[in-house]
Chains A and B, each alone.
Chain A
Amino acid sequence: MEKLLDVRGLTMDFGGLRAVDNVSLEINKGEIVALIGPNGAGKTTFFNCTTGIYTPTGGDVVIHPPGEAEVRINGMKPNRITTLGMARTFQNIRLFPAMTVLENVMIGRHCRTSTDIIGAILRGPNTKKQEKETIEKSYALLEKVGLDHLANEFAKNLPYGAQRRLEIARAMATDPFLLLLDEPAAGMNPQETKELDELIVRIAREEGISILLIEHDMKLVMNISERIYVMEYGKLLAYGPPEEIKNNPKVIEAYLGEEAVHA
């Protein structure tokens, strides 16, 4: 199987606090993989380390863009990593509120287009063509996530669930081979979650984009992911296919136990 993301022994310290401790994780082509764990387990920090927002203290993050040589991306700037083909969404939605929905997606195309200031002023045939393509692609993405009818609304005016989907569309606009979703279902109602569930599967199957997601909604996770990694207190607790994880006593104690308390 073709390995796309290979994280080995990732460690992240904040001062004296070890938020991520020697975590290894890999994702193969076409997979949907979930990263779960109780609140504060270090999942989002793990994401931030792999996407370049933080520079990890130790370990290796290596990505292998299809058809290209593998790249070690520790300490690389986030925009470089996105350009290499790994895009993400955020746990606390981070859209561009005062821009329209379509423009939000068009921003995602930035790293795949090349018009510079002079080009934008002259607006020559190349620029026009690029601009047209950007609009078309962005519009098509909006249709895929079902937001095309809201294309000219301001992003801040969208309902919560729609904002989450817009974030996904925006990330997809960067033409990723791997998509990292940070709690995409947070704050969604069951109907929206179900739609999201379908959307994620569709992205993986039809677009051939592999997905790593952090999620608390167990139903969603168990439904769609092929493999699951469980983190607790910054460490990797277990990994394997959903059935195995479901029945892993350690996981039940650490994670589902907490879920039971919450429920």
Chain B
Amino acid sequence: MIASTIRKAVIAALWLAFLTFPLMVVKVNTLKDLVEWRWINLAWVLYSGFFASLVWQVLYQYRKTKKADDEDDPSLQGLSLGDRLMVSLKDPYVLVLLFALAYFVGLYPLVSFEFWRWSCKIALAVLAAKLAYKLFLVKKVRSCSAVMKESPLSKPILFAVLGIAVIYFPFSVDSYQVNIMVLALIYVVLGLGLNITVGLAGLLDLGYIAFFAVGAYTYGLLNTHFGLDFWICLPLGGLIGTFFGVLLGLPILRLRGDYLAIVTLGFGMIAHQVLTNWTDVFKGNLGIHKIERPGFFGMEMDLAQATTYTYFLVVLLVIGTIFVTNRLKDSRIGRAWMALREDEIACVAMGIDMARTKLSAYAFGAFWAGTVGVIFAARNTSINPNSFTFLESAIVLSIVVLGGMGSIFGVIIAALVMMLMPEYLRDIGEYRWLVFGAVMVLMMIFRPQGLIANQRRTYKYEGAKGEES
């Protein structure tokens, strides 16, 4: 078993080395006709490939057996410490953590990345916690959420703490960081909006960012040309976003699911090209400048104040989005969206108008993008087409996927992680997309429900018996 695992890992590492050889090792300077041989990279690939394969195999084995979560493991009870250790070592989480730790520690002295050191520490801490739990606390510890459910006070307390943190945040850090947070929150709204289209209704939209652009340019143009106020443009952005959603949705929602992906991707690219090339209106790559920040009854604000103000605006919008999505999720419309995602044929056979339901999900997603686009333009005060490329659509999509499709809480966490991580872990910056791409693949394979799985509402009902006639 162990021998074959290691053999497979070695083969995988060699195969990877073969695959990556021309790109990782060879580097050609075509201007000077020089070839650079970077043999150190070969060692990297072999080393990483070996560990990656180990982790992959453990996870894959675990996935196949589909064992339930190990929180409560009766098999550990009544065993000696040594035996418990042996059993624990067979636990996939422990194994994966061990491999990860070995991998990071093995190169610890060689790599100067901040990210590396952190990964190392985190892996060690989690491993220690996991082992300690396995070895000494065999009885099931009540999870946080269980405690929360039982205590009636815990929910208000949690919200209060969260609320204070949210309010206190802009006053505790400088305005640069507040500004970053505003951007992250804008992506929270985008994530929640796309979550409606993709997560709930299952319509893959690869051009979502186009609606974001619609909102941003609506405000940018109306403000710079006609001097229209932020507060007038905010609903306008949403409405025009919705309008475009309906306009584009009408011809394409009859299409098979897979075709939708390419056509929406096309719309995204069309939008970008129009913004770039129709210079008379959209000013091309230069973009639109001197857009006003949101006003507050004509009050004069300096930059820091304006940033803080924008922060609170976007927080309100996030709250609004959560509120609305939450209500929709467990409503007649939300259920129809989900049913559509699950099975279109059964859906129409149950009397649901497919075209209308699809259109509403698509347009409603567009509404949020349009609305938050206005805030984006107001935050940046200048906009250009480069903020609205396919990559941005991909960011929002990965937020939805990582967060757990359909799960509101998960999407928020994922958006914050994705937008803030590169900011605070600078040296992961350029590797960000490499990592996210890989994570998207791994997530689909090993944890398709996302970081936080979508919980379905449960209904309690006892009165039916009495009313049966």
Contacts and interface: CB of A to CB of B under 8 A. Distances in A.
- Within 8 Å by CB, do A and B touch in the complex? yes
B139 interface: no
Interface stretch (B174-182, B277-285, B335-343, B434-442): B335-343
Interface in B329-348: 331-336, 338-339, 342-343, 345-348
B239 to A, nearest CB: 14
Contact of B332 (A53, A79, A100, A113): A113
Contact of A95 (B328, B343, B352, B354): B343
Interface in A20-53: 51-53
A174 to B, nearest CB: 5
A140 B347 CA distance: 21
B351 A174 contact: yes
Contacts of B303: none
Interface in B303-355: 324, 327-328, 331-336, 338-339, 342-343, 345-354
A79 B353 contact: yes
Contacts of B353: 77, 79
Contact of A107 (B336, B456, B459, B464): B336
B350 A82 contact: yes
A103 B335 CA distance: 7
A138 to B, nearest CB: 9
A84 B339 CA distance: 20
A121 B364 CA distance: 12
A96 B339 contact: yes
Contact of A90 (B339, B349, B351, B352): B349
Contacts of B251: none
B391 to A, nearest CB: 30
A52 B329 CA distance: 29
B297 interface: no
Nearest to A134: B332
A82 B349 contact: yes
A102 B458 CA distance: 9
Contacts of B464: 136, 139-140, 143, 148
Nearest to B340: A96
Nearest to B354: A79
Contacts of A115: 331-333
Nearest to A170: B350
A218 interface: no
Contacts of A131: 331-332
B467 interface: yes
A234 B333 CA distance: 40
A102 B457 CA distance: 10
A78 B349 contact: yes
A50 to B, nearest CB: 12
Determine the main DSSP class of B at the interface with A.
Answer: helix
Contact of A136 (B327, B342, B458, B463): B463
Interface in A108-163: 108-113, 115-117, 120-121, 123, 127, 130-131, 134-136, 139-140, 143, 148, 151-152, 154
B468 A143 contact: yes
Determine the main DSSP class of A at the interface with B.
Answer: helix
Interface size class of chain B, counting residues whose CB lies under 8 Å from the partner chain: 20 to 34
A185 to B, nearest CB: 19
Contact of B346 (A96, A151, A154): A96
B465 interface: yes
A79 B463 CA distance: 31
Interface in B195-222: none
A155 to B, nearest CB: 9
B159 interface: no
Given A140-B468, A151-B459, A107 B349 contact: no
B349 A116 contact: no
Contacts of B468: 140, 143
A98 B468 CA distance: 29
B467 A96 contact: no
A107 B335 contact: yes
Given A117-B364, A139-B464, A99 B338 contact: yes
- Top 7 nearest A-B pairs by Cβ distance? A111-B351, A120-B331, A82-B351, A96-B342, A94-B346, A152-B458, A78-B348
30 contacts: A51-B349, A52-B348, A77-B353, A78-B345, A78-B348, A79-B350, A79-B351, A79-B352, A82-B348, A82-B351, A87-B351, A90-B349, A96-B342, A99-B456, A102-B459, A103-B338, A107-B335, A111-B350, A112-B351, A113-B332, A116-B333, A120-B328, A120-B333, A127-B331, A130-B332, A136-B461, A139-B464, A140-B464, A143-B465, A151-B459
